[in-house]
A = this chain, B = another copy of it.
């Protein structure tokens, strides 16, 4: 007789939410489906031949270190390479400001773990990255979503008056996931002022920043206020996701707590993977490959936008991001992309419903599309199918 599991589960477990993306995608894995749903980088950008050489070098010269346990804080030469890039981008910091994480999702988890008590409020965007929301929920946080253009200070006062002062503010300032939108300099200053006024930490999630293919970069919020900002970086989009490498840049006190939390989470991030990445960065190949990634994704984004212009029915609008992997589509208010999803899957095209990114359950008329992964042919064909699906949805409600 099996044990009744439910009474044994923690409140955290009962509060966790399965990724809607995951569940939707379980129907979208058939090979005939064109998927704009995932957040996969394009495998064309994986530097297979270069990595083979580096792997051999590391195994020959430092195999015994590469295959052994490493420090929880991360492999020092890898940290040094990351710091070099941070410094070149106007971000200060030493080895004590940096910890390597098992990619960015672990960073979100560790940050949540050291800050969140059950029912704590955290500020985030409407929409915001689903993986971050999942991490917050898994510690029973109550994410409060703020729309672009809303007055952060007024929201803060309202929350404080309700005894719900947020623990931190979570933002993805560059090419946001899912919206593709980038915060202006004014918006960044505004958030930092908020942080100064209310002693609030800012979590600056920065997975896409280096994939800018148009326009001028804004400074990171970390470079503007290193005492207030916890920056999360990842190698999943600019290098390879299969190595699971990311980092947190923050003040020494915070890093100290993160180190203790990581000790009991997974002891250390794979040493071999860190060494390969360190060597790849050191060789200059990393920098060069980012150029290649930008060029490829620029092309794919343009192609997707052109296809929208050609095929999309009336009333559909979209963001036109200057970088990253995603753009966001909006249908007229009265339509639900969950209904569209069912139609689209029958026409063999997939996306993520925008509602999944809205912690308050809004955004039902929105959807996220990824442009980095599909081939050119599939981008055009997929947009056609999606346009057909929207026309069908329109027809149903005409």
Q: Which residues of A come within 8 Å of B, CB atoms?
A: 1-5, 8-13, 16-19, 22, 38, 40-41, 43, 46, 48, 51-52, 55-56, 59-60, 63-70, 72, 102-103, 105-106, 108-109, 113-117, 120, 131, 134-135, 137-139, 167-168, 199-201, 227-228, 236, 240-244, 251, 253-254, 257, 260-261, 263-273
Q: Are A109 and B242 in contact, CB atoms less than 8 angstroms apart?
A: no
A180 → chain B closest CB, angstroms: 20
Residues of chain B within 8 A (CB-CB) of A12 are 113-114, 117, 139
Residues of chain B within 8 A (CB-CB) of A22 are 72, 263
Question: If A59-B52, A67-B243, A201-B8 touch, does A264 touch B131 (CB 8 Å cutoff)?
Answer: yes
- Which listed residue, B16, B63, B200, B261, touches A46 by the CB 8 Å rule? B63
Q: Are B267 and A270 in contact, CB atoms less than 8 angstroms apart?
A: no
A-B contact pairs, 10 of them (CB 8 A): A12-B114, A17-B260, A18-B263, A51-B59, A67-B240, A68-B242, A69-B241, A69-B242, A106-B265, A242-B270
Q: Are A266 and B266 in contact, CB atoms less than 8 angstroms apart?
A: yes
A342 → chain B closest CB, angstroms: 24
Number of copies: 2
Q: How far is B201's CA from A261's CA once the two chains are assembled, in angstroms?
A: 25
Other contacts beyond A18-B260, A48-B67, A131-B264: 20, CB < 8 A? A3-B199, A5-B253, A8-B115, A8-B168, A10-B116, A10-B120, A10-B139, A16-B257, A16-B261, A16-B264, A22-B72, A41-B68, A43-B68, A46-B68, A55-B59, A65-B242, A105-B264, A109-B265, A270-B270, A273-B273
Q: How far is B269's CA from A243's CA once the two chains are assembled, in angstroms?
A: 8
Which of chain B's residues has its CB closest to A48's CB? B63
Question: If A9-B114, A9-B257, A113-B12 touch, does A241 touch B68 (CB 8 Å cutoff)?
Answer: yes
Residues of chain B within 8 A (CB-CB) of A109 are 264-266
A42 → chain B closest CB, angstroms: 10
- Which listed residue, B66, B240, B260, B273, touches A68 by the CB 8 Å rule? B240
Q: Are A263 and B19 in contact, CB atoms less than 8 angstroms apart?
A: yes
Residues of chain B within 8 A (CB-CB) of A244 are 102, 266-270
Which of chain B's residues has its CB closest to A251's CB? B2
Q: How far is B227's CA from A108's CA once the two chains are assembled, in angstroms?
A: 33
Residues of chain B within 8 A (CB-CB) of A3 are 199-201, 227-228
Residues of chain B within 8 A (CB-CB) of A269 are 244
Q: Are B68 and A138 in contact, CB atoms less than 8 angstroms apart?
A: no
Question: If A5-B253, A261-B16, A272-B273 touch, does A10 touch B242 (CB 8 Å cutoff)?
Answer: no
A224 → chain B closest CB, angstroms: 15
Chain B CB count within 10 A is highest, among A4, A10, A200, for: A10
Q: Are B253 and A272 in contact, CB atoms less than 8 angstroms apart?
A: no
Q: How far is B227's CA from A131's CA once the two chains are assembled, in angstroms?
A: 32
